[in-house]
Amino acid sequence: MGRAFVYVILGGGVAAGYAALEFVRLGISHGELCIISEETDQIQSFMLHLNECGDYITEILKVAPYERPALSKGFFLPEDPARLPSFHTCVGAHEERLTPKWYREHGIELVLGTKVKSADVRRKTLLTATGETISYKILIIATGARALKIEEFGVRGSDAENVCYLRNLVDASRLVDVMRSCTGGNAVVIGGGYIGMECTAALVKHRIKVTWVFPEKHCMGRLFTPKIAAFYEDYYKSRGVNFIKGTVLTSFENDSGGKVTAVVLKDGRRLPADMVVVGIGIRANTSLFEGQLNIEKGGIKVNGRMQTSNNSVYAVGDVAAFPVKLFGNDIRRLEHVDSARKTAKHAVAAIMVPQKTGDLDYLPFFYSRVFTLSWQFYGDNVGEVAHYGDFSSGRFGAYWVDKGQMVGAFLESGSREEYEVIAEAVRLKVTVKDIIELEREGLEFAMRV
Ligand code: FAD
Ligand code: NAD
Ligand code: ISD
């Protein structure tokens, strides 16, 4: 059994949605494009389990591409939380909202709730878990990443009903259910990165007391300086969050039903817990293509047109390792939504209008929103750091300067215009002669550029 398409997108996350919109804008015909994704929502996986006449049910419960960032933000609001269909792509970039109806109207085949088990790039085929072979002329790999499990670090217990991860809609729905059952109780959050930071804020808003545990000296070690981290940590402390740093989890204690009742740390401490959230990083979903395509930095290596080592195959989003022109074409694998959106659009342009499409010129952009705080970062966090502003009032920022040029900029609580100017200063790699003067001038420096 098999079907053939001109274009196939493997993966139905953020990048897939933005790629689909670009395909339509650039003029594909009905029946040319297919998106295959294993992602389901909680109700769908439940129904698939129970139901014999699954076709009708799965048709109405399909999960078309959505804005994954919404899961740790709007989806977790205690009052009036965001639910699909409100955050389908591409609303996160203030573009059209692509509902299942939109895909139907544009003749795009959605093969959802379906995992691709193997790929053969020589034959240009994908084999699904349902036994179907789908062939393509051009493939876009948009398989994203999976959350790392504690078992990969030798700790058991991920399957307990009150241990939560967060990567997809099923995880998010489960986390909401567990949070709602733990109001007034204790949570332990493991991992000091984005998931730890955003989930801790959500737990506090659900009136759960959080102990946040991570191995580094400060939170968000991949991006924040100690001074920036100290501001957010103080804010979290003011909201009742307890920090345990420089250690990791070694085991859980469980009740007779298997539920976790306490977390045991390497430093010997034992933390009573009604629930646990684990956010210890991700691995890009490259396995289908290992041995067939070039891999670098844990991702599928592509050129500036998002093309892999096979001419008919492109890779975008979290799974792609691509040359960042601004950093001298250094190969980077970014794990952020803006990069997923822009690499996806660029790949489609390179496929549909190759003569007009050069190499992507991308300015890395990361952001987060927690409680009433929000920050944006542009560029690269290497070199010397110049902090500026007033850390006590929450109006502050930082610049990173490498070899006399501005390479990175961070700002808390900026206006749209302020974010635009810091982004531009990094894009232009403006020359910085005196770092002390830069610190003194702060935002004014970028405003003058
Ligand atoms: P994904 O969106 O992960 O999509 C990959 C898709 O491929 C999934 O649907 C998956 O099921 C499917 N798939 C994988 N393998 C197969 C297979 N074999 N067969 C079929 N389907 C398959 N970034 C920010 O910049 N700002 C934020 O505020 C932010 N918040 C986030 C909050 C959360 C909770 C999470 C988890 C991430 C957040 N991110 C954020 C990161 C951002 O969401 C990712 O960078 C982005 O989703 C990457 O898009 P993608 O399409 O490459 O991968
Ligand atoms: P992360 O890489 O941001 O942080 C991982 C954290 O886990 C680090 O503190 C690390 O030291 C710690 N850790 C690693 N191994 C550990 C271990 N064995 N035991 C205990 N701690 C360990 O990853 P994350 O927070 O899990 O986020 C997952 C993905 O989701 C990332 O790609 C991230 O970019 C994305 N995300 C982004 C945003 C955003 O951009 N606002 C929000 C949520 C999620
Ligand atoms: O990029 C994003 C983001 O941070 C969200 O919360 O998209 C979502 C929403 O803007 C879409 O509802």
pLDDT tens for 132-154 read 999 999 999 999 999 999 999 99
pLDDT class of 163 with cuts at 50, 70, 90: very high
The one-letter amino acid at 447: M
Per-residue pLDDT at 54 exceeds 80? no
pLDDT of residue 144: 98
Reference 176, options 263, 78, 94; nearest CA is: 78
pTM check: above 0.90 = yes
Mutate to test the pocket of ligand 3, among 14, 18, 67, 99 (most ligand atoms within 8 A of CB): 67
The residue whose CA has the least distance to atom 34 of ligand 2 is: 335
Q: What is the mean pLDDT of residues 293-313?
A: 98
Per-residue pLDDT at 56 exceeds 50? no
Question: Which ligand 2 atom is nearest residue 337's CA?
Answer: 40
| Distance, CA of 290 to CA of 366 (rounded, Å) | 28
DSSP-based three-state secondary structure for 105:
helix
DSSP-based three-state secondary structure for 325:
helix
pLDDT class of 382 with cuts at 50, 70, 90: very high
CA distances from 32 to 23, 110, 139 (A): 10, 12, 12
* Length of the chain, in residues: 449
Question: Which ligand 1 atom is nearest residue 365's CA?
Answer: 25
List pLDDT tens digits, range 312-350. 999 999 999 999 999 999 999 999 999 999 999 999 999
Ligand 1 site, residue 89, Cβ cutoff 6 A: no
Question: Which ligand 3 atom is nearest residue 67's CA?
Answer: 7
**Residues of the chain above pLDDT 70, percent:** 96
pLDDT of residue 60: 42
pLDDT class of 91 with cuts at 50, 70, 90: very high
Provide the β-strand partners of residue 366: 377
Structure tokens at 409: 């900029």
Long-range contacts of 225-229 (CB under 8 A, 24+ apart): 225/385, 225/387, 225/398, 227/387, 227/391, 227/398, 228/387, 228/396, 228/398, 228/410
pLDDT of residue 49: 53
| Distance, CA of 37 to CA of 143 (rounded, Å) | 8
Mean pLDDT of the chain: 95
Residue ranges around ligand 3 (CB below 6 Å) = 67, 69-70, 73-74, 82, 87, 91-92, 337
List pLDDT tens digits, range 167-222. 999 999 999 999 999 999 999 999 999 999 999 999 999 999 999 999 999 999 99
pLDDT class of 43 with cuts at 50, 70, 90: low
Residue ranges around ligand 2 (CB below 6 Å) = 72, 153, 190-196, 198, 214-216, 221-222, 248, 279-282, 335-336, 366, 368
Per-residue pLDDT at 48 exceeds 70? no
Which residues are within 8 A (CB) of 131 and not within 5 positions of it... i.e. 6 or more apart? 1
